[in-house]
Amino acid sequence: MNNQLPFSQSENKPSKAFAVTDKTKLKRVANRAVYDKQEIYAILDESLLCHVAFDWNGAPALIPTAHWRIGDHLYLHGSRKSRMMEILANGVPACIAVTLVDGLVLARSTFHHSMNYRSVIVYGSGREVTDPTKKDAVLAQFVEHVIPGRNAEARPANATELKATSLIEFDLKEVSAKIRRGGPKDDAEDMQRDVWAGTIPLTLTAGAPITAADSKVAAAPAYTQNYTRVKTTV
Ligand SMILES: Cc1cc2nc3c(=O)[nH]c(=O)nc-3n(C[C@H](O)[C@H](O)[C@H](O)COP(=O)(O)OP(=O)(O)OC[C@H]3O[C@@H](n4cnc5c(N)ncnc54)[C@H](O)[C@@H]3O)c2cc1C
């Protein structure tokens, strides 16, 4: 795997919004709709995990997996033997969901309890990336997405490992986000009830790194300390 990352910063600084299509137009609580690329890309970049839905012999299938983004493309990778990878490489339409849960919202009535969240849905058909140079660079960027700094130290993937890995590229074209922020929204007649109302913020926090018993290097590198998914730039 190539440790150099040949993607320019400008690819990571989108400014426009996604066009709203019949598929991506929010109908339920439409005021929570977001189509701004920068907001959507920040969600995709913060999350480690997506869920990929596709048709499998006429039945719905849903698989959790890792994703990453470069510019206006989303990438998934996996074993060449994976059912999902085979199906996606054949261009079967997929729906990919990315979800960040930001808090629990406790209203005065159970009905109005809610969650704060930022979620993205991507529709599209993928294609396999076969060009070895591009594949190498895109996979290196996956490592960078998960743990910045690691590429410079870990052994790059060799030819056999790259061959065993499928890489699928999706165009980010048909995309929506839905975002809920803020406190509870109660009915007027419940506002005077003697019951606590408010939010419990939730964040992903990393523990202290645990050095493997057989690690030749004892001191955990700086990039493992205070690990966070929240990026200061998108
Ligand atoms: C953490 C979390 C908890 C939730 N809990 C509930 C719950 O308990 N009950 C409930 O009914 N809903 C819940 N939602 C909202 C849910 O995701 C749907 O938005 C909602 O159910 C409406 O679905 P629909 O098919 O009627 O959407 P529609 O508005 O008909 O969807 C039309 C289009 O809008 C876009 N869209 C819809 N929802 C989302 C989304 N969440 N993110 C990005 N794009 C979207 C898609 O492009 C979709 O094709 C929750 C969402 C999150 C992230």
- Give the residue extent of every domain in the chain: 9-224
Cβ–ligand 1 distance for 24 under 6 Å, the answer: yes
pTM greater than 0.85: yes
User: What would the mean pLDDT of 64-68 be, rounded to a whole number?
Assistant: 98
d(CA 178, CA 40): 9
pLDDT tens-place string over residues 39-64: 999 999 999 999 999 999 999 999 99
pLDDT tens-place string over residues 120-163: 999 999 999 999 999 999 999 999 999 999 999 999 999 999 99
DSSP-derived 3-state class of residue 204 = coil
54's CB contacts (< 8 A; 6+ apart) are 60, 61, 84, 87, 88, 92, 93, 94, 95
Give just the sign of the alpha carbon dihedral 207, 208, 210, 215.
positive
DSSP-derived 3-state class of residue 213 = coil
Cβ–ligand 1 distance for 44 under 6 Å, the answer: no
Closest ligand 1 atom to 29 CA:
29
| pLDDT of res. 230 | 87
CATH topology of domain 9-224: Pnp Oxidase; Chain A (2.30.110)
